[in-house]
């Protein structure tokens, strides 16, 4: 018994040792099953499988006590197959995590199965439907930080940068990319920037039993023949379907210079691995590509291992570079591995293990290949960044970065230019020339263009019935401008605009509103007004617009004072002023030396006046003695010559040309007298006169040629016409009417199109081109030449009169000359008089002047100046007076009267002054 008991104990001991060894071995070699569901037929699936194998191989080599076992399932892109594969993996393979799925449809079904089995599901698709995913599928983890709106916002920012107003959305037929996914978001964001989705190109899934090529061709032909927009936005599509779209678009000519292609991330993420032959179909397209760092050591090490495995698994593939799908798959395995290592002491068979694993995965925080791996709301929290690329040749050029909030930036590429400043190769080999993003459809129906049937003036718009053709003929300036616009669009922009005119008989406001219903556009004399702009889109104005008052003119009656009209009142005052000033200067200077300007003051005044007025006609008889006076008179003769010739020319013109005056001067007279005024009842003018100008007595006159009769019979006193009508009216009725008062400005005449019309932008651009080239001005001149020429462009204005502004220069010269001569003469006169007194003082006092000091000389000099009498000329006998300071002139300096000097000695009258200078020099030498 003891032996038996001992044997049992030994047996139990060995069994315990063996069991403990088995348990330890099992703990040291723990393996976790992971299920992977991918579409192995797609490029993304191939990259994901290779990346997962590369990650598992690396992690299993690095970990000695814990291994990962991968179980792959092929969904072939079928959501139901993906769901079935997920159930098999959970039930049969006992997987603890399911990763993969290539679309949101697959993800939702697999997430539902994972939710039922309490198994975490890690989605590698970039498609998200936050916040619904977190509420409906709490065991779903997304290895992406994208919302669906992120990519849409980036696309919208591109459209806004170039002001494209209409786009065509291209997407593959599925629940995500269609009506309930990206399209509503795109439409909403475009509306915020004033753009719309004009058309949708719905593509069949590449697994569709119908012929995808035939469907794609039909869709693109419809765009080519019926739609104007050429901005194509490829939202969501598989690579095979997108490739067929590009190929067919290239065949149909939708990759021309008018087109723009913006490719979403679902296609751009394969640009590094796509077949080079595909690039030739999509040259010049812009791509939005998920950005990831590809220069660090971690990525380069992964890339090297990935290429080796990928080449071994898929030798038929030419491109070996990994894309974002491979990086996400690698990071998902890294995330699971780190979470399992954190739970290495937990038993994976426990009921709560899956929840712990999910929580640990969501608490991850490390740097992976795609960036920072940290989760918030079951998706990556690291802000995402897109790259904007331009497809050129067999590759692409990186233009910069796009973010949902900040839009475009290329600071990381070395500068900070905006998107419009970046050099882009557009479709059709356009370089640095932004495509218009629109073209006229090939089979577009003719535009129905309304034309006013009863325009006020047929020079602008004329509609008349042609018996030979049984159709209406349309002519006038507005029609000619529109025809030139159409020709410019076709010649310069290769833009065909088919159209037909239809006449309209209602008011202009009603005609504008008909653009909503019956017309595609309106061509006519339509004024651009604020209340009309609320309903329609106006082009650039092709002629100025405004409102002015036109009134008849009358001949100026004969006037008795007509001879005064050549000069203005200021001119007459200035003329008489300079005349009297010149008379005074000449009289004063001649009075000192000329006997003819002496005598009683009445005689002197008469002589001066007679001399001055007679000099106007160059008929004076008085001789000028002083050289200073001669200079003044010479300049005065020049002034007289200018004035007389100008006066003669002005008066002659006034007497020979009929002067016309307006019958009404201003609008205030109309208000006070309540005089009747005429206007066009179909335009806005009558309402403007009533509401703004406060005129009450208004007569409706429909046609421009009815105004003359209404003026003549007194029905109206004034007419209010828009500027284009006024221009034609005044040209037609020369010298009979004139425009008076202020002009009230408006927006000009323009063509009318529906709101958000692409054609309106093209027509505006053509109008600006015609204005810059002067072709519209030539059209106006050509139409104006049909009327008789007027002798004056504004007969209502008075003939031009001469004002002071025309002659102030010559008046200034004359005045300065007279003043300067007078000052020089006065200085010399005073100087000689003072020298005479000093000489007389020395003779009487024995050279006493030379012996006095400077202060005494100054006092005596002041006394001499104050005692001078310029108007007194003493006789020779009185000069012998012996009074000390009463001598006016010494005997030897007496001015000789011209009457007592022979004629041949007239030139010696100023000799005494010269002799005084010599004697003054003798005094100084003494």
The reply to whether 30-145+295-380 and 447-542+756-780 are identical in fold is no
What does the pLDDT read at residue 412? 52
What does the pLDDT read at residue 130? 52
Using alpha carbons, list the distances in angstroms from residue 435 to 152, 255, 753.
Answer: 21, 11, 22
Fold classification of 30-145+295-380 (topology level): Rossmann fold (3.40.50)
Residue 19 tokens, joined: 């069991």
Q: What is the average per-residue pLDDT within 514-520? A: 82
Lowest mean pLDDT: which of 71-75, 281-285, 462-466, 632-636? Answer: 632-636
CA distance 336 to 314: 26
Q: Is the separation of the CB atoms in 659 and 556 below 8 Å?
A: yes
What is the residue-averaged pLDDT of the chain? 77
The residue ranges of every structural domain in the chain are 30-145+295-380, 148-293+384-431, 447-542+756-780, 549-554+660-745, 562-656
CA distance 237 to 182: 12
Tens of pLDDT along 644-689?
Answer: 788 777 777 766 655 556 667 677 888 888 888 888 887 788 888 8
In the predicted structure, residue 903 carries a pLDDT above the cut 70:
no
Q: What is the average per-residue pLDDT within 206-227? A: 79
Q: What is the average per-residue pLDDT within 177-185? A: 64
In the predicted structure, residue 434 carries a pLDDT above the cut 90:
no
Q: What is the average per-residue pLDDT within 565-587? A: 80
The angle at the Cα of 176, spanning 268 to 113, to the nearest 5 degrees, equals 110
- Give the pLDDT band of residue 120 (cuts 50, 70, 90): very high
3-state SS, residue 612: helix
In the predicted structure, residue 877 carries a pLDDT above the cut 50:
no
In the predicted structure, residue 283 carries a pLDDT above the cut 80:
yes
In the predicted structure, residue 379 carries a pLDDT above the cut 70:
yes
Q: What is the average per-residue pLDDT within 225-254? A: 87
Residue 592 tokens, joined: 């000192």
3-state SS, residue 138: coil
In the predicted structure, residue 797 carries a pLDDT above the cut 60:
no
Lowest mean pLDDT: which of 513-522, 694-703, 836-845? Answer: 836-845
What does the pLDDT read at residue 181? 66
Lowest mean pLDDT: which of 263-272, 824-833, 862-871? Answer: 862-871
Tens of pLDDT along 199-210?
Answer: 998 888 666 666
pTM: predicted TM-score of the whole model, two decimal places? 0.62
How many contiguous H segments (helices) and E segments (strands) does the chain have? Answer: 30, 31
- Give the pLDDT band of residue 98 (cuts 50, 70, 90): very high
Contacts of 918 (CB under 8 A, 6+ apart): none
Tens of pLDDT along 330-345?
Answer: 999 999 999 888 887 7
- Give the pLDDT band of residue 872 (cuts 50, 70, 90): very low
Per-residue buried b or exposed e for 778-803, using 16+ beta carbons within 10 Å of the residue's own CB: ebbeebeeeeeeeeeeebbeeeeebe
CA distance 228 to 252: 15
The CATH superfamily of 148-293+384-431 is: Response regulator (3.40.50.2300)
CA distance 388 to 397: 9
Catalogue the long-range contacts made by 855-864 (C-beta closer than 8 Å, 24 or more residues apart): 861/834, 864/834, 864/837, 864/838
What does the pLDDT read at residue 886? 37
What does the pLDDT read at residue 808? 82
Of 702 and 863, the one with more pLDDT: 702
- Give the pLDDT band of residue 880 (cuts 50, 70, 90): very low
CA distance 547 to 531: 17
Of 487 and 445, the one with more pLDDT: 487
What does the pLDDT read at residue 918? 39
Contacts of 400 (CB under 8 A, 6+ apart): 387, 388, 408, 409, 410, 412, 413, 419, 422
What is the DSSP annotation of 783-832? HHTTSPPPS-S-TTSPPP-B-GGGTHHHHHHHHHHHHHHHHHHHHHHHHH
What does the pLDDT read at residue 752? 92
The enclosing H or E element of 919 equals: helix 911-925
SS (H, E, C) 231-259: EEEECCCCHHHHHHHHHHHHHHCCCCCCC
- Give the pLDDT band of residue 263 (cuts 50, 70, 90): very high
What is the DSSP annotation of 746-758? ---B--EEETT-H
Tens of pLDDT along 810-858?
Answer: 888 888 887 888 788 777 777 777 777 667 666 666 555 566 666 766 7
CA distance 779 to 783: 6
- Give the pLDDT band of residue 627 (cuts 50, 70, 90): confident
Q: What is the average per-residue pLDDT within 696-715? A: 84
Q: What is the average per-residue pLDDT within 120-131? A: 73
Q: In the chain, what percentage of residues exceed pLDDT 70?
A: 75
Tens of pLDDT along 723-762?
Answer: 878 887 887 777 778 888 777 878 888 999 988 777 888 8
Tens of pLDDT along 39-64?
Answer: 888 888 899 999 999 999 888 888 77
Q: What is the average per-residue pLDDT within 161-165? A: 88
Peptide bond into 182 cis (omega under 30): no
The angle at the Cα of 292, spanning 287 to 296, to the nearest 5 degrees, equals 140
Pairing state of beta strands 97-100 and 30-38?
parallel
Of 192 and 914, the one with more pLDDT: 192
What does the pLDDT read at residue 168? 93
In the predicted structure, residue 899 carries a pLDDT above the cut 90:
no
Q: What is the average per-residue pLDDT within 339-365? A: 83
What does the pLDDT read at residue 335? 92
The enclosing H or E element of 220 equals: helix 212-226
In the predicted structure, residue 11 carries a pLDDT above the cut 60:
no
Q: Is the separation of the CB atoms in 697 and 674 below 8 Å?
A: yes
CATH no., domain 447-542+756-780? 3.40.190.10
Of 873 and 679, the one with more pLDDT: 679
What does the pLDDT read at residue 71? 93
Residue among 298, 340, 342 nearest 322 (CA): 298
In the predicted structure, residue 398 carries a pLDDT above the cut 70:
yes
In the predicted structure, residue 468 carries a pLDDT above the cut 50:
yes
What does the pLDDT read at residue 204? 80
In the predicted structure, residue 32 carries a pLDDT above the cut 80:
yes
Of 157 and 630, the one with more pLDDT: 157
Q: Facing residues of 538 across strands? A: 752
- Give the pLDDT band of residue 870 (cuts 50, 70, 90): very low
Using alpha carbons, list the distances in angstroms from residue 662 to 470, 556, 734, 741.
Answer: 46, 10, 13, 11
Domain with residues 549-554+660-745, CATH architecture: 3-Layer(aba) Sandwich (3.40)
Residue among 792, 799, 804 nearest 736 (CA): 792
Lowest mean pLDDT: which of 88-92, 266-270, 642-646, 904-908? Answer: 904-908
- The length of the chain in residues reads 926
Q: What is the average per-residue pLDDT within 619-625? A: 62
């Amino acid at each position: 018994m003891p032996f038996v008991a001992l044997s049992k104990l030994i047996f139990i001991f060995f069994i315990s040792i063996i069991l403990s060894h088995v348990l330890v071995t099992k703990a040291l070699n723990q393996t976790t099953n992971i299920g992977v569901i991918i579409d192995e037929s797609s490029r993304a699936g191939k990259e994901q499988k290779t990346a997962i194998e590369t990650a598992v191989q690396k992690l299993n080599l690095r970990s000695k006590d814990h291994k990962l076992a991968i179980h792959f399932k092929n969904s072939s892109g079928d959501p139901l197959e993906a769901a079935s594969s997920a159930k098999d993996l959970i039930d049969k393979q006992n997987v603890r995590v399911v990763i993969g799925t290539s679309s949101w449809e697959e993800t939702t079904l697999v997430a539902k199965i994972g939710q039922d089995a309490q198994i975490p599901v890690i989605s590698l698709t970039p498609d998200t439907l936050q916040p619904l995913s977190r509420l409906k599928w709490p065991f779903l983890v997304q290895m992406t930080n994208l919302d669906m709106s992120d990519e849409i916002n980036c696309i919208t920012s591109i459209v806004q940068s170039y002001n494209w107003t209409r786009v065509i959305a291209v997407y593959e037929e599925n629940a995500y990319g269609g009506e309930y996914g990206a399209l509503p978001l795109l439409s909403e964001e475009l509306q915020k920037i004033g753009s719309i989705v004009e058309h949708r190109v719905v593509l069949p899934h590449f697994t569709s039993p119908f012929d995808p090529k035939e469907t794609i061709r039909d869709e693109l032909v419809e765009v080519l023949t019926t739609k104007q927009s050429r901005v194509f936005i490829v939202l969501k599509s598989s690579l095979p379907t997108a490739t067929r779209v590009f190929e067919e678009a290239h065949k149909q000519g939708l990759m021309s210079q008018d087109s723009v292609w913006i490719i979403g991330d679902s296609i751009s993420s394969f640009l590094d691995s796509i077949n080079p032959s595909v690039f030739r179909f999509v040259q010049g397209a812009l791509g939005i590509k998920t950005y990831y760092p590809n220069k660090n050591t971690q990525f380069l090490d992964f890339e090297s291992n990935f290429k080796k495995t990928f080449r071994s698994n898929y030798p038929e593939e030419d491109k070996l570079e990994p894309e974002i799908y491979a990086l996400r798959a690698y990071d998902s395995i890294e995330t699971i591995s780190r979470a399992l290592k954190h739970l290495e002491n937990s038993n994976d068979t426990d009921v709560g293990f899956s929840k712990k694993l999910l929580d640990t995965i969501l608490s991850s925080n490390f740097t992976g290949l795609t960036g920072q791996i940290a989760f918030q709301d079951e998706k990556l929290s690291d802000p995402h960044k897109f790259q904007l690329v331009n497809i050129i040749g067999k590759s692409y050029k990186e233009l910069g970065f796009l973010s949902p909030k900040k839009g475009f930036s290329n600071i990381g590429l070395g500068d900070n230019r905006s998107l419009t400043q970046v050099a882009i190769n557009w479709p059709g080999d356009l370089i640095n020339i932004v495509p218009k993003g629109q073209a006229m459809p090939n089979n577009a129906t003719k535009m129905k263009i309304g034309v006013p049937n009863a325009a006020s003036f047929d020079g602008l718009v004329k509609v008349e019935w042609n018996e030979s053709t049984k159709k209406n003929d349309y002519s006038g300036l507005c029609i000619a401008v529109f025809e030139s616009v159409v020709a410019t669009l076709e010649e310069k922009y290769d833009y065909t605009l088919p159209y037909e005119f239809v006449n309209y008989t209602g008011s202009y406001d009603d005609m504008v509103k008909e653009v909503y219903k019956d017309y595609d556009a309106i061509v006519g004399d339509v004024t651009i007004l604020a209340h009309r702009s609320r309903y329609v889109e106006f082009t650039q104005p092709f002629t100025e617009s405004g409102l002015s008052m036109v009134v008849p003119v009358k001949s100026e009656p004969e006037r008795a004072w007509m001879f005064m009209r050549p000069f203005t009142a200021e001119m007459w005052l200035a003329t008489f002023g300079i005349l009297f000033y010149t008379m005074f200067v000449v009289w004063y200077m001649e009075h000192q030396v000329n006997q003819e300007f002496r005598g009683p003051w009445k005689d002197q005044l008469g002589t001066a006046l007679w001399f001055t007025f007679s000099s106007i006609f160059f008929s004076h008889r008085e001789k000028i003695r002083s050289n200073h006076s001669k200079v003044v008179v010479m300049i005065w003769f020049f002034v007289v010559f200018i004035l007389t010739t100008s006066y003669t020319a002005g008066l002659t013109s006034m007497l020979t040309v009929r002067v016309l005056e307006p019958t009404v001067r201003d609008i205030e007279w109309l208000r006070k007298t309540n005089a009747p005024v005429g206007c066009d009842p179909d335009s806005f003018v009558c309402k403007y006169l009533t509401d703004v100008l406060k005129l009450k007595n208004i007569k409706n006159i429909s046609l421009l040629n009815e105004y003359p009769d209404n003026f003549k019979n007194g029905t109206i006193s004034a007419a209010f016409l828009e500027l284009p009508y006024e221009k034609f009216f005044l040209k037609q009725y020369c010298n009979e009417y004139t425009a008076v008062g202020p002009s009230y400005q408006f927006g000009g005449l323009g063509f009318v199109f529906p709101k958000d019309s692409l054609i309106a932008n093209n027509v505006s651009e053509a109008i600006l081109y015609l204005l810059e080239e002067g072709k519209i001005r030539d059209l106006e001149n050509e139409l104006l030449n049909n009327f008789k020429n007027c002798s004056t462009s504004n007969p209502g204005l008075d003939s031009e009169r001469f004002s002071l502004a025309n002659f102030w220069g010559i008046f200034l010269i004359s005045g300065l000359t007279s003043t300067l001569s007078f000052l020089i003469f006065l200085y010399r006169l005073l100087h000689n008089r003072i020298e005479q007194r000093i000489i007389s003082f020395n003779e009487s006092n024995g050279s006493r002047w030379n012996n006095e000091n400077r202060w005494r000389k100054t006092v005596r000099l002041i006394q001499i100046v104050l005692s001078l009498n310029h108007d007194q000329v003493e006789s020779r006998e009185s000069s012998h007076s012996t009074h000390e300071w009463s001598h006016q002139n010494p005997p030897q300096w007496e001015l000789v009267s011209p009457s007592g000097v022979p004629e041949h000695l007239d030139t010696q009258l100023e000799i005494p002054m010269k002799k005084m200078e010599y004697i003054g020099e003798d005094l100084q030498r003494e």
